[in-house]
Amino acid sequence: MRDLSAGPRVLLKRLRELMAEPLEPQERLDRIVRQIAQNMVAEVCSVYVLRSDGVLELYATEGLNKTAVHLAQLKMGQGLVGTIAASARPLNLSDAQAHPAFTYLPETGEEIYHSFLGVPILRTGRALGVLVVQNKAMRNYREDEVEALETTAMVLAEMVATGELKKITKPGLELDLSRPVSIDGNSYGEGIGLGYVVLHEPRIVVTNLLNEDTDQELQRLAEALGSLRISIDDMLSRREVSMEGEHRAVLETYRMFAHDRGWVRKLEEAIRNGLTAEAAVERVQSETKARMIRLTDPYLRERMHDFDDLANRLLRQLSGYGAKLSASDFPTDAVVVARAMGAAELLDYPRENVRGLVLEEGAVTSHVVIVARAMGIPVVGQAAGAVALAENRDAVIIDGDDAKVHLRPLADLQRAYEEKVRFRARRQAQFRALRDVEPLTKDGKRITLQMNAGLLVDLPHLNEAGAEGIGLFRTELQFMIASTMPKAEEQEAFYRSVLKQTGGKPVTFRTLDIGGDKVVPYFRAAEEENPALGWRAIRLSLDRPGLLRTQLRAMLRAAAGLELKLMLPMVTEVSELKEARELLQKEIERQSKLGEQLPRKLQFGAMLEVPALLWQLDELMSEVDFVSVGSNDLFQFAMAVDRGNARVSDRFDVLGRPFLRILRDIVRGGERHQTPVTLCGEMASKPLSAMALLGLGYRSVSMSPTAVGPIKAMLLALDATKLGEVLNAALDDTRDQTPVRQILIDFAAANGIPV
């Protein structure tokens, strides 16, 4: 084989001409392999393409038997070609037949060839096929020859990606890029959405692969790298980036990659071989990702994400590409797929068009998930590989009930889900018919059904769902989606708008609950080992009284002449309530001195989320006008399980005896002091657990808007007194080990209660 120092440029130029000619796909592919063989003085050049059934099929060859085309096949991992596809790494052999993975395919006639060079056809780190050259003489191919073949494989990757090869694929078969894929994740928001993929940060599609002027492309790369490094340095120097912590560590990793000479040398080498700067970045990114994607070490896999993000930033620098789809290109049925995203970014999308959200990262308590659920869309998180496997406008089904994402689903699966959606729509219509029905149990117990909210977009659900008010308004969401601290006037206008849009129905405002996992960009606290147990919520507010007083002032002004209900989050000791009440009293006195109108009625309450309050129940009930149980955090702290950790979050049951006894003690404490008690956690949103709450004696619950209908249907069929007798007996019996969940399921089945 001759020296290839100038070869790649000549070859790529000829391939570009072939790509531009009006040829049928098979003829184009045949001429491409012939051109590669001639340029590289190879006696054989073959292209294998990966099908959706995991088979690598010979699509074109120069040198092997032509009759083997579309007949010769190897499974993923089988033979040399299968090994290359499975590992996404080149294979360079002087005697191919001596390799333990060699598989003899008699139809090809390749037994006379000894030297073998095969490279994966890669796109975004995925192997779409394999490109091979062979010679009779025994020899190892040089590094520049491997580089040339890898560069050439990019052209073939684009042929596969554009769908051109579909025309010559056997009927009934699909290529791997279009194969159906099902991804398991975690359910962060119930519901089902059918639509089309919108990648939150779409991959840059590099269409101009081959350069005309190497020096010019090297200069473009140098300028883009310079701009990238400056932007990273600028981010690191900003005041809001703390000197320590995870945020800074990520940016420092970016800076390390951006200055890495090995990475830059690879990019420059690819440009010298004939690629544009963009194509060079895409190629090196794809190769690096292919090597790292199989790593099991979580730290190294995280570094792969960092590298991927950095390469995408560089591509945007080079192409000047805007990430988001324009409004006209945005599908009417969109499922947004992202590695991670902020709450404000989700709200940037046309709300009426978004049918679901798929995240590779995040937790059920993350900001964007809270907003997505407020929008009433299904959410699947921890969907590993979703971004790499999806393409913009791919058909997709998101199943928030079963925590699955189906990319490019088969027709039968699509039809099954369409029927499931129709069934859910019929059920929702039945629930809507109950909207104006009074929520009375069969034994005449009046239940107050309220909903949780946090944004203005939530408020139309109040009347749609038939809720009687807002039992939990998360005021921190206004802070989380803002780029700067909302001023007092902005907070006041926001609360006034909430009260106006609810039309006189009661609203319970929870004061600022930031800290822990709820980090706002302009308020950075020191990094904590256990943020859920750290400086957050009322602890932060009492340490920053100006912050709390500003919020209380805004609420008092917004509720002038109206009723104001407010409660404090994460109270640990009753003394905290007294301290906060003193601040509230100062604001009331200030308003009076200024002659400003005050709320006609003020109710002061507390969230019961910290187990320490269980030993202060009587003092608590005497100190406040009402108590709201935050069952999510109370369960987390009582059972010592991190609800964001999939390994332990389901280890204990909220319907287990220990937690139900805690909830029973709270409601009995309220009854002793005639202090209203409500519950506004996840338990209230599920019919079976909500049924248990009614059996324990709760008469007010607050839930997601979509849960109001199912909960009302359940309670209308329930004899709460009868259930209370069964449930209390089960909680008092220390010998019976029958799971309470099963007792509840059996009770519902025996009494015709829909759960």
pLDDT by residue (tens digit) across 589-633? 999 999 999 999 999 999 999 999 999 999 999 999 999 999 999
What is the residue type of 574?
A: V
Of the pLDDT bands very low, low, confident and very high (cuts 50, 70, 90), residue 662 is very high
Structure confidence at residue 397 (pLDDT): 95
What are the two backbone dihedrals, phi and then psi, of residue 99, each rounded to the nearest 5 degrees? -75, 135
pLDDT by residue (tens digit) across 497-516? 999 999 999 999 999 988 76
Lowest mean pLDDT among 641-655, 666-680, 682-696: 641-655
Give mean pLDDT, residues 53-71: 92
Percent of the chain as helix, strand, coil, to the nearest 5: 50, 15, 35
SS3 string of 39-55? Answer: HCCCCEEEEEEEECCCE
Q: What is the mean pLDDT of the chain?
A: 85
Lowest mean pLDDT among 107-121, 385-399, 471-485: 471-485
15 vs 8, 31, 274, 325, 346, CA distance in Å? 10, 9, 11, 31, 42
Q: Which residue has the higher pLDDT, 293 or 652?
A: 652
Q: Residue 102 pLDDT > 50, yes or no?
A: yes
Structure confidence at residue 367 (pLDDT): 63
Alpha-carbon distance of 33 to 26, in angstroms, equals 11
Lowest mean pLDDT among 111-115, 614-618, 632-636: 111-115
Q: How far from each other are the two terminal CA atoms of the chain, in whole angstroms?
A: 73
Q: Residue 525 pLDDT > 70, yes or no?
A: no
Q: Residue 130 pLDDT > 80, yes or no?
A: yes
444 vs 536, 667, 715, CA distance in Å? 41, 19, 10
Q: Residue 39 pLDDT > 90, yes or no?
A: no
Alpha-carbon distance of 435 to 432, in angstroms, equals 5
320: left (phi over 0), alpha (psi -120 to 50) or beta: left
Of the pLDDT bands very low, low, confident and very high (cuts 50, 70, 90), residue 343 is low
Structure confidence at residue 410 (pLDDT): 81
Q: Which residue has the higher pLDDT, 424 or 431?
A: 431
Is 247 an active-site residue?
Answer: no
Q: Which of 305, 406, 461, 680 is catalytic?
A: 680
Of the pLDDT bands very low, low, confident and very high (cuts 50, 70, 90), residue 250 is low
Structure confidence at residue 242 (pLDDT): 42
| Spatial CA neighbour of 676 closest among 655, 700, 694, 643 | 700
Q: Which residue has the higher pLDDT, 189 or 660?
A: 660
Structure confidence at residue 589 (pLDDT): 96
Q: Which of 305, 367, 406, 461 is catalytic?
A: 367
Is 367 an active-site residue?
Answer: yes
pTM summary value: 0.63
pLDDT by residue (tens digit) across 734-743? 888 899 999 9
Give mean pLDDT, residues 658-668: 97
Structure confidence at residue 3 (pLDDT): 42
Alpha-carbon distance of 450 to 456, in angstroms, equals 16
Lowest mean pLDDT among 72-76, 190-194, 318-322, 561-565: 318-322
Alpha-carbon distance of 613 to 608, in angstroms, equals 7
Structure confidence at residue 321 (pLDDT): 61
Q: Which domains does the chain have, with CATH numbers?
A: 7-178 (3.30.450.40), 181-202+325-424 (3.50.30.10), 214-319 (1.10.274.10), 469-605 (3.20.20.60)
Q: Which long-range contacts (CB under 8 A, 24 or more apart) does 2-10 make?
A: 2/41, 4/40, 4/142, 4/144, 4/145, 4/148, 5/144, 7/39, 7/40, 7/148, 8/147, 8/148, 8/151, 8/152, 8/273, 8/274, 9/273, 9/274, 10/39
Q: Which residues make Cβ contacts (< 8 Å) with residue 664, sequence separation at least 6?
A: 696, 697, 728, 731
Share of the chain above pLDDT 70, in %: 87
